[in-house]
Amino acid sequence: MSEAQVIKALNEAGKPLKAGEIAEITGLDKKEIDKIIKKLRTEEVIHSPKRCFYEPK
């Protein structure tokens, strides 16, 4: 469920977001966001266009 929230937040933002911004939008803890980002990057669902920013592939 949280992964879906992160992907939804990234899709709706229309621009690359930092982990802290994703945490604000979703209401999840930043540490949880960091774990989800790591997992989604491994699965190649999201990527980082520049350091510390993430967007959907």
d(CA 10, CA 4): 10
The answer, yes or no, to whether residue 1 has pLDDT greater than 80, is no
Give the β-pairing of 55-56 and 46-47. Answer: antiparallel
> For 15-48, what is each residue's pLDDT tens digit?
999 999 999 999 999 999 999 999 999 999 999 9
Would you state the pLDDT for residue 23? 96
| CATH match for 2-56 among 1.10.10.10, 3.30.830.10, 1.20.140.10, 1.20.1440.130 | 1.10.10.10
d(CA 27, CA 41): 21
Residue extents of the structural domains in the chain: 2-56
Would you state the pLDDT for residue 26? 95
Angle, helix 2-13 to helix 19-26, in steps of 10 degrees: 110
Cβ contact 26:2 at 8 Å: yes
